[in-house]
Structure formats: structure tokens, C-alpha cells
Structure 1
């Protein structure tokens, strides 16, 4: 039995906005209320705020290899999509590149306090070894000690091929498991077309069948600018009308972005039980809109937070995006308080993945936690150290990150891999 006790923190954020002081105790990677501490490993959290590990509910890890590409910033999405597709084709997306990009993106995530990443993988070249690509991402996560939600996406893929690939991936990565989550909770598989702007009803239908057969979560992107424009042009209907007609609004579905939604649509989303993911670090700088998070939450939707990919955001720093979400919320409604946005980046994101054991530090939850040092000059004069996590120090990184009771970042450095090697290997592959 492995017992870990974290003590001496300035504050402990349990989840749901609850803040306390005292110890955080885990046994064999699970948070407990009390335990025999005779042989416990003690961790000193003096000067730190302790939170649950952040949960990035929407990423595109492949795009870690394609950041700040010329001609991809501040342009309409109709132009951005083919520009990125051309870059993928030139590089040659295969299991090697998928694994190296995932390794870099996941290493960045851990160093920024993100312990779980949902990777919505949308790029599948014709004839590609799709199982090999998925396995490469999963192997990268396992080696680093990060939790991965691998989403077999589709973007103009042949519907039959996409469904067959999704089925093969879940059978290969999670053999004999129904429900889409490994026994240790470190790997999850889901399915998700890019959106109605790129994928047909047949793709949604067939990936939905794979989800039902294996008990997987379903995810897609909806109501960014181009999504609405193309849906109206092609179908004479808005994206959410189509998703409702196609059976893709339900408690097992999470929709990313939702920048352009009406009050009636929000009410329909809430009634369906769907959850949402806000991605301001992508949508705001690209000029693609701001999701009305206050209205979504007030309607009863669970709302998580995601960075989206490096092709539009350039960073996988979820806490920085939480800060941005808090700041831009005032442009579309009442400003969201820091505690609420922090909850979105933890429990809210976890709920959208169907993973209530993540994003919290309550008994029975996974022992995924971050120690954020708030004792330095960047936090000098801060009256509320929890609010200060978002308001102060925009580039803040955690001192220590623990996943399932295992220390994966210590004193701001990875314990499971060499950061310089990760960077060098990705650059070597991309520049070939």
C-alpha cells in the first residue's frame, strides 16, 4: 500500500469552488479522508495552493508540431482549414509523427498542471496505419504518466473507413473493455466527427454505432463561425438543428466551441443533457467568437475548458486559457469569477468526459493534483490566493504535479522524460 500526504498548503481547492486547509491524503492513487500515516510519504506544500490536476477537455495534439505557421493567424476558418491540411500533407502524418507530437504536447500539458488531455485527432491520411497512430499517442501518454482521452475523429474521411478504424482502435487499445476507459483510468477512447461543416450524416451515424457498441463517449465541434455558415449553405439549417436530427444531442455527447448559439438553442442543449467545452485560447485570438459561458452554465450545462490545438492556440497552457476565459467573459455577459473558471478547468472538463473521479480532491477521486507556489513576488499583495492563480502570473506553472499518486513533475521538471530530448526529436522529424 502506498500512502501520500500533502500538508501545509495555504489552501486546498477540493472542487466545486470549495476551499479548505489541511492535509490531502491518498492511498494507492485514490484520495481518502483518513489513513494510517505511519509509513506515509510526506510532501511539504508550504506556500502553495493545492488543486486537482487540470483537465484539458479539447486539444489536437498533432498540431503541437505545427505552431505559428506563416499564413495561419487571424484568417477566416475557411482559409485556415486548408492551410493546416496542406502542412499535414507536406509533413506526412504517420505513427511516428503522431507519437512525437503527442509526446511534446503531453509533456507541455504536465508542466502546465494538466494531468488529463482529450486529444481530438482529426487527421487520418488515406491508407494510414490508424491503429498505429492511436497506439503511438497512447504510448506517449503512458511513458510520461499522463491521462489521455484519445478521440478517433473524422474530417471528410470516408464514413465506412472512419467507423472501421474507430472500431479497430478501441479493440486494440482497450481489448475486452466496454465503456471506453482502461482499468487503471489512464486511457480512454471516444469518437468524434469534426463537425457538420466537414462530415456527413453517414459519418455521424456510423461513428455513433461504434460508440454504442463499445460504450464510448461522443464528441464534436459546433457553432464556430464556419460551422454555422456551411451548415446553412449546405443544409439550410443551423448545426444544432442537424445534430439534434442526427441523434447527436444527448448526455453522452460533448460539444466544443459553441461560440454562436441562440437562447433557444441553449435551452435545447440543456434539455438534451449535452455538455460543452469552451476554447477561448483558440477562438478569441483567431477572431472566431466567444462562447456565452455564463448563459450556458445558468441554463444547467456542464461546461469544461480546452485549449484546442497548437495550429490555432500555439500553447497547451490551460490555466492561461482559464485566465483568458475569465477576462473575456465580460464581453458577452457578467464576468465569471476565478473560482468558477477554475472549476471549469477541473471538474467541469472531467464531467464532459464522463469521468466524475477526475478534477476533484474529494474522497474516492483520483489522486491527480498540482502544487502551485504562491509565495513569490508574482503573488505579492494578492488577497485571495485561489483567485490569484488566475488573475496573477499569466505564465504560472506548478511546482509539483502528481497523477494517480505518482509524482510526474517535481520542482518544475518532468520526472518521467527528458524535456530537451522531446523537443529535439520533434524538430528532427518535422524538419526532415
Structure 2
């Protein structure tokens, strides 16, 4: 990837000026994008999503309620619709399309909900359907075989089968477009046996591990069930380690922050879920100051309703001042690119130029929403909430041009999901 144009935001805080963007996808043909009047950034990396929830947004009884009420309400909706490969594909198509259209080139999908007692082959079909949806649109996917109250042996067997089928040679496909990881939902839903079973799969296949910790219900249940806090349990169960990423981290003590940092584990901030649901605000400044690499994630449509990572970076800046110093725009953008990519073990996804994966976004900042902006990088996040990139490139190939998907029509994707849900509601 050769960057020669616009205001190009490279890895870290550096900014340089140029005019055009030349795309290199490995072929002899070079495509050039006119980037005058634009800011060019690495592709955004959504480190924590639940793509299935794209089919279950704004459900009654799921807004501003305790997590102990939210979880069964969402479970009831999943059960009523029926989780299978067809629904997974339709929901993932919507979530990936939404992501690409908002500048997210890589999505980590923590898939937690499975048809209870289904054959292992059915779980592989769900994972494959999700991966196929992403590949059809040209995005990068990290499929996280998650667990939420699953039988440990079944969860382990399913994760092993999914890794064997989708990434048989080391956790990532040769083209880098698909990665598989594993991760229980958290100590509130899964016990030590499940954490151990998925850790064994990770060791066997060379996979990253991911989980969630220290939201409101997570701490309460851990104290009630074990008399311990979640970080204590993760440490005891071998899940504080450099290959582990922990999402949320809202309610962490100074000692827990230190222990996470010393372990080399990374974290993911998800304000678009935690703030509107009233589940808390992570103390990002303290986590970063301790040396924890932090990424940014939207979480799923069941709590966030949107998959717009740049908007959540803006929200992260807005609420940071309530619990510490305000988060600078460059730090928030760094979390949405470099921090997220490091947590995936994929630093090449987070920068432009030599050694990059060829993922970038071209943001037009020449309109009235950006007029008067003194710092184009700060303006990218602060001005024009919900902005769309003009062009998005993955692995050197355009997947969004002039604000529209290259490989599909977004209204067709939306309509397909709506019709599927309506058909199942009528049948149920």
C-alpha cells in the first residue's frame, strides 16, 4: 500500500500531507483514488461485536435495564427466531455491511449464542455462514467461538471443529481475511471447565483468546457464586495472559488494573454498549496509564443498536471526562486501529505504508460539517457524528466506493434480513 495523498494518518499520532492514494492488491494493475480534501486513515478495527444481535435491535424490555434482565430478554428473542446458519448469514451480512460503510475493515465477532444441543456440524455451519457473509462483502472477520452456559465438552468439540474447518493452518487464513479465536462470555455464564476446554483448543490450533469481564452483572455473580471477583478467577484459570483480550473492564480496582497490565493481557473499551445501558464507564485513562493496550469495540446491536465504531470513539471521548482526563482524539483513533489490532495479534491491520495489510479509509472532510475545523484528525472524530467514509479498501481492494458497497446493495441485504425475521415470526 503506497499512500501519496490527502492528510494521511499513519500509525500512532503522526500526520503527513499528500494528494492521491495508490492501491496495491498484488496485481499488475494499480488503482488510484483521488484523496484531495480527504483524511486517509488505516481501516478501523472493531475489536468487540456480536453480529447476531444485528437482527435484534431496540427490542422491548432491553433498554436501560439491569444486565440480569437484559440477558434473558435477548435469549428469549434468539430462541423465538431460531439460531441457525441462515439467520447467522443474514445478520452477519447486515453487520458487516454496516461496518464497512462506517469505515470498519475488520470485525471481531464474539458469537455466544448457539442452538442448544445441536450437532457439532451445525455449529460449524453457523461459523462458516458468518465467514461467508464477510468474505462476500470483502471485509475481514475474526470469528470468536464463544460460549454462554454451554456444556464444556460440547463447546470445546465445537470450537475444535470450527478451527479445523475454517483455519486449519494456524488460526488465520493465508489471505488474512478470516481469523478464528475462542472465548467464553465471562465468569458470570461459564465455569472453569469451559474456560479450560476453550483454552485447550486455543493451544492446539494457535488461536487468540477473548472474554468479557467486570461489567455490573459479572462482578455481582462472581462474588455471589465464588466469593471472588472476575479478575481473580481469570487469573486463577489461566486467562490473564498475553494472548487474552478482555472486553468492558468497567469496574476494575487499581490492583486489578496493575495485574492485567503485568500479565500482558489487552482490553477492549465498549462505551456504546456500557454507557447507554447504564452499566458503567471504563476508566480508560487509568487503564492506558498502567500500560494496558486498549482497543475499541461497539459490542452488539442488542445493547448498542449501531455498529459505527467512529461514533463510539467520539462517545469514548465525550464520557471520558466523567471518570478522568478527557481522551484526546488521536488516542481514541489509535484505540480504534492500533489498539484493537494488537489485541487480535494482527498489528499489520493498523497502519498505512510498508508492512501494512492494505486496509484504509478515505474520509471526505471538505463539506460544511468540517468547515472551520483546525485539526483534521480531531475533526474526523468530533465533527459530523455518524459520518461515512467515501472509500474503503481491504487488502488493497476497494470494498466501498463513493459511500456505497462495491459487492452488494445495502438495501437488498437489509431487506433479506427483514423478510427472514418476518417469515419466522409468522411461523412461530
TM-score category (smaller protein): over 0.9
Conserved in 1, the CA contact under 8 Å of 2:25 and 2:397?
Answer: no
Conserved in 1, the CA contact under 8 Å of 2:50 and 2:301?
Answer: yes
Aligned to 1:145: 138
Conserved in 2, the CA contact under 8 Å of 1:6 and 1:44?
Answer: no
Aligned to 1:430: 421
Count of residues in correspondence between the two structures: 419
Conserved in 1, the CA contact under 8 Å of 2:294 and 2:339?
Answer: yes
Picking from 228, 250, 257, the partner of 2:219 is 228
CA–CA distance in structure 2, aligned partners of residues 26 and 417 of structure 1: 21
Closer/same/farther in 2, CA of residues 130 and 259 from structure 1, 3 Å limit: same
Conserved in 2, the CA contact under 8 Å of 1:115 and 1:368?
Answer: yes
CA–CA distance in structure 2, aligned partners of residues 6 and 340 of structure 1: 22
Closer/same/farther in 2, CA of residues 50 and 236 from structure 1, 3 Å limit: same
Q: Please say if 1:15 is aligned against 2:18.
A: no
CA–CA distance in structure 1, aligned partners of residues 309 and 181 of structure 2: 21
Q: Please say if 1:396 is aligned against 2:393.
A: no
Deviation of the 1:126 alpha carbon: 1.6
Picking from 126, 130, 147, the partner of 2:123 is 130
Aligned to 2:262: 271
Conserved in 2, the CA contact under 8 Å of 1:5 and 1:41?
Answer: no
Deviation of the 1:363 alpha carbon: 1.1
The CA deviation string for residues 203-258 of structure 1, in whole angstroms up to 9 with x for no partner, is 00010000000010000000001000000000000000000000000000000000
Conserved in 2, the CA contact under 8 Å of 1:167 and 1:210?
Answer: yes
Aligned to 1:170: 163
Conserved in 1, the CA contact under 8 Å of 2:21 and 2:33?
Answer: no
TM-score, L = length of structure 1: 0.95
Uncovered stretches (5+) of structure 2, i.e. residues with no partner: 424-428
Conserved in 2, the CA contact under 8 Å of 1:6 and 1:45?
Answer: no
CA–CA distance in structure 2, aligned partners of residues 225 and 217 of structure 1: 25
Uncovered stretches (5+) of structure 1, i.e. residues with no partner: 31-37
Deviation of the 1:285 alpha carbon: 0.2
1:2-401 alignment to 2 at 5 Å?
A: 7-9=4-6, 11-22=7-18, 24-28=21-25, 40-128=30-118, 129-175=122-168, 177-178=169-170, 180-401=171-392
Please tell me the root mean square deviation across aligned C-alpha atoms, in Å.
1.3
CA–CA distance in structure 1, aligned partners of residues 34 and 4 of structure 2: 6
The CA deviation string for residues 288-337 of structure 1, in whole angstroms up to 9 with x for no partner, is 01111111111111000000000000000000000000111101100010
Which deviates the most, 144-153 or 120-129?
A: 120-129
Conserved in 2, the CA contact under 8 Å of 1:204 and 1:246?
Answer: yes
SS at match of 1:149: strand
The CA deviation string for residues 363-407 of structure 1, in whole angstroms up to 9 with x for no partner, is 111110000000000001100011001110001110000000110
Conserved in 2, the CA contact under 8 Å of 1:277 and 1:304?
Answer: yes
Deviation of the 1:418 alpha carbon: 1.3
